[in-house]
Amino acid sequence: MLQPSPWRADFPAVAALHRQHQTYLDSAATAQKPQAMLDALARYYGGGAANVHRAQHVPGALATQAFEATRSALAAWTGGGEAQQFIFTHGATSALNLLAYGLEHGFEAGDEIAVSALEHHANLLPWQQLARRRGLRLVILPIDAQGRIDLEQALQLIGPRTRLLAVSQLSNVLGTWQPLAPLLAHARAQGALSVVDGAQGVVHGRPDLHQLGCDFYVFSSHKLYGPDGVGVLYGRQPALAHLKHWQYGGEMVHLAGYHEASFRPAPLGFEAGTPPVAGVIGLGATLAYLNGLDLSAVAAHEAALHRALCEGLVAREGVRLLGDPQVALASFVVDGVHTADIAHLLTEQGIAVRAGHHCAMPLLEQLGLGGAIRVSLGLYNDGDDLARFFDAFDHALALLR
């Protein structure tokens, strides 16, 4: 028997969606928001918006204080680095693009970048295009049948020519944790920089960035129950110092003349223009909300739901899970039934799940699939959501077979 989610009432949109006859099971795409975050946005916008860092007036000072408090909260939340190690971007994608441009100067033709076969396009295309610009070799680390990077092969493929390793922590398609510790240690021993795409992982296991041992870690606020339009790029100090500036304008500049300029170091040097002030303040409120939760209770609730989801799926004839999902989500196809037809019938019945290639076209192609359906969970989901999903799914299967 699944317990109700004790946190459901903290997320007003879940009830609102319910009133619209929608069962939201797409949190891996974006998550609903806690009231605490909505209150923080209303306080900021209702109390007086102001730009950060440059204004000498009181509203500007208050906005800057609240904005910078989120940087400190991030440092505390992720294992105690320095606040100055966290750069705000507009999302995980823009953080990864920042890295691909900011690190470009360190590569020479013939150098290698290693990525895994399961990467989201956001952690593949910036490196692929960098490789094309600089004549680098993009090495693809294969995955095993469970959906994890094949360690034995990966350790062979990451060698002295590898200048950078970029891998996800938790697959957005397969729901599998990746073997980061040995991969990162090996990359470092080979002298390569490492980038971890934590877009999914950060939501389901609070990262200890110090212990993880990567050079860079990126994620998006909107998947972590925070506002959209905000991304976070964490870097180890020496790795941050290696980054070249990539976008130019206000805020990031130290001194500017008509013909030359000098630039600030991280983080402000990489936050050109007005940053997403409200979004960053809202992320701070979300982190405070998450800090107040019993994280082991959250993990236990999510694990029980995930188990029920996977068991329910495989109990149905012809359903094939992609890989061996461990947490948060499950993607599947049904033998003899077109994914788009199932998706259509689920949508008609008010079930909000995702169907398609999940921004991982090469992975789906490698699995021999044109698409798959992904059901993903947030801490506010409960057994009733799953029951509604399975009722609708059974109805769809009965119609289609």
Kindly tell me which of 123 and 339 has the beta carbon lying closer to ligand PMP: 123
Q: Is 200 in the site for ligand PMP (CB under 6 A)?
A: yes
Give me the phi and psi of 49, to 5 degrees please: -75, 150
Kindly tell me which of 223 and 245 has the beta carbon lying closer to ligand PMP: 223
Over the window 227 to 256, marking each residue x when it contacts ligand PMP by CB under 6 A and - when it does not, the resulting string is ------------------------------
Q: Is 214 a catalytic residue?
A: no
Kindly tell me which of 123 and 326 has the beta carbon lying closer to ligand PMP: 123
Which of 10, 26, 150, 197 forms a contact with ligand PMP (CB under 6 A)? 197
Count of residues that bind ligand PMP according to CB under 6 A: 13
Kindly tell me which of 195 and 334 has the beta carbon lying closer to ligand PMP: 195
Kindly tell me which of 6 and 205 has the beta carbon lying closer to ligand PMP: 205
Selecting among 149, 319, 359, 363, the annotated active-site residue is 359
What sign has the CA pseudo-torsion 289, 294, 300, 304? negative
β-strand partners of 164: 113, 193
Return the range that interacts with ligand PMP (CB under 6 A); candidates 6-14, 38-46, 85-93, 328-336. Answer: 85-93
Instruction: Please enumerate in sequence order all residues whose Cβ is within 8 A of that of 318, keeping only pairs 6 or more positions apart, or say none.
Output: 334, 335, 336, 337, 401
Over the window 113 to 132, marking each residue x when it contacts ligand PMP by CB under 6 A and - when it does not, the resulting string is -------x-xx---------
Q: How far is the CB of 193 from ligand PMP (least distance, A)?
A: 18
Which of 93, 97, 331, 381 forms a contact with ligand PMP (CB under 6 A)? 93
Asked if 162 and 187 count as a contact pair (C-beta separation under 8 A), the reply is yes
Kindly tell me which of 27 and 50 has the beta carbon lying closer to ligand PMP: 27
Kindly tell me which of 50 and 98 has the beta carbon lying closer to ligand PMP: 98
Which of 23, 162, 168, 178 forms a contact with ligand PMP (CB under 6 A)? 168
Q: How far is the CB of 303 from ligand PMP (least distance, A)?
A: 20
Strand 329-334 and strand 372-376: pairing? antiparallel
Which of 5, 78, 172, 326 forms a contact with ligand PMP (CB under 6 A)? 172
Q: How far is the CB of 198 from ligand PMP (least distance, A)?
A: 8
Return the range that interacts with ligand PMP (CB under 6 A); candidates 145-153, 197-205, 260-268, 320-328. Answer: 197-205
Asked if 183 and 157 count as a contact pair (C-beta separation under 8 A), the reply is no
Which of 40, 52, 63, 92 forms a contact with ligand PMP (CB under 6 A)? 92
Return the range that interacts with ligand PMP (CB under 6 A); candidates 130-138, 192-200, 289-297, 375-383. Answer: 192-200
Which of 176, 220, 286, 339 forms a contact with ligand PMP (CB under 6 A)? 220
Q: How far is the CB of 90 from ligand PMP (least distance, A)?
A: 8
Q: How far is the CB of 8 from ligand PMP (least distance, A)?
A: 23
Structure-block tokens of residue 367: 């699995």
Over the window 350 to 369, marking each residue x when it contacts ligand PMP by CB under 6 A and - when it does not, the resulting string is ---------x----------
Kindly tell me which of 235 and 312 has the beta carbon lying closer to ligand PMP: 235
What is the C-alpha separation between 174 and 143, in angstroms, rounded?
Answer: 11
Question: With the CA atoms of 144, 150, 156 and 162 taken in that order, what torsion angle do they form, in degrees rounded to the nearest 10?
Answer: 110
Q: Which residues are catalytic?
A: 359
Contacting positions for ligand PMP (CB under 6 A): 91-93, 120, 122-123, 168, 172, 197, 199-200, 220, 359
